[in-house]
A = this chain, B = another copy of it.
Amino acid sequence: MNAKSHASPNGSPTALYQRIRGDLERKILSGDWPPGHRVPFEHELMQSYDCSRMTVNKVLSGLATAGLIERRRRAGSFVSRPRVQSAILQIPDLKAEVEKRGEHYGYRLLALEKRGASAADKARIGVALRAPVLALRCRHEAEGQPFALEDRLINLRAVPEAMQQDFSQTPPNTWLVGQVPWTEAEHRIAAEAADEATAAELRIEPGAACLTIERRTWRGGEPITAVRLIHPGHMYDLVARFTPSA
C-alpha cells in the first residue's frame, strides 16, 4: 500500500496528517468535544482514517504540545480543561511600525552614558555592581510628534559591540532586534501619570496617563538589556491577537 492511496477522496492534495488534525481541532474548538471529553484512541483513529499509527500519533502529539489535549498512558487522550487565557503580545519595532503606516519616523538621542552599574542599575538589569553598562535615553517621533520615550540599559559584558554603535542615528531598539539573540524575556505593563520631565519630553500635560512597558531580556541567564518605553496613553494601543492552531 502506498502513500498516494490516502489522498483525500475529493481529490484535494491536503496531507492526511493535516486533514486529521483539522478534523480533531474543529471538534474541539467548536465545543463539540467539551473539555474532559475522551478523544478516540490511536487505534480507533487509525481504523477511521485507514492509516498507520504513526500518522495519528503525530497528530495527537501535535495537539498535545499545542495544549489542546492531554494524554495519559493506558487512559487515553482528553480535551484540555479551559484554555489558559493567554495571547501573543507583539512588541513592535517602533521604527518599522511607524513607517509601515506611511508616516515619517523621527528619532532623537537625548542622553548616552557608559558607566559602572549603580545599585539602581543592578536592581533593574541584574548585573553586578560597577559592571559596565550603557545607559541611554531617546525619543521616537511620528510625523514630528513624540510618541515614545525609551530609557534603556545595556549590559556591555553581554553586548560589547554596543559601544561601537552610533546610537545618534540608529535607535537602540531597532539595532538590538535581530542583532542579539535572547532566550528569555519579561514584560511588565502598567499605566502611570507622566512626571514633569517625561511630560516635557513627550509634549503632554504633566500627570497625563501614560502606558509604560518594561522589558528585560536574558540569554541563558545572562542579562542583555532592560528597557522602559513610555507612551502617551491616548495615542498608542497595543493589540494582541490569539488564534489557536499554529
Which chain A residues have a beta carbon within 8 Å of chain B's beta carbons?
28-31, 34-35, 65, 81-93, 177-193, 207-212, 219-220, 231, 233-234, 236-244, 246
Contact = CB atoms under 8 A, between A and B. Distances in A.
Contact of A233 (B209, B234, B239): B209
A40 to B, nearest CB: 19
A220 B28 CA distance: 12
Given A29-B181, A210-B209, A243-B183, A189 B238 contact: yes
Given A89-B89, A187-B238, A190-B238, 20 more contacts: A34-B181, A81-B178, A82-B177, A85-B93, A86-B89, A86-B90, A87-B185, A89-B187, A185-B242, A186-B239, A186-B241, A187-B241, A187-B242, A188-B237, A189-B211, A191-B191, A191-B192, A191-B211, A209-B233, A211-B211
A192 B89 contact: no
Nearest to A91: B85
Contacts of A29: 181, 183, 219-220
B234 A211 contact: no
B240 A187 contact: yes
16 contacts: A29-B183, A31-B181, A35-B181, A81-B178, A82-B178, A82-B181, A86-B89, A87-B89, A89-B89, A89-B187, A184-B241, A185-B241, A186-B239, A187-B241, A193-B208, A193-B209
Contact of A246 (B65, B178, B192, B231): B65
Q: Name the residue in A83, A88, A188, A236 with the highest tally of chain B Cβ atoms < 10 Å from its Cβ.
A: A88
Contacts of A81: 178
B86 A184 contact: no
Contacts of A90: 84-86
A3 B161 CA distance: 46
B233 A191 contact: yes
A92 B86 CA distance: 8
Nearest to A35: B178
Nearest to A243: B184
Nearest to A88: B86
A17 to B, nearest CB: 10
Contacts of A239: 186-188
Top 8 nearest A-B pairs (CB, nearest first) are A191-B233, A82-B178, A191-B191, A191-B211, A209-B209, A89-B89, A85-B91, A187-B240
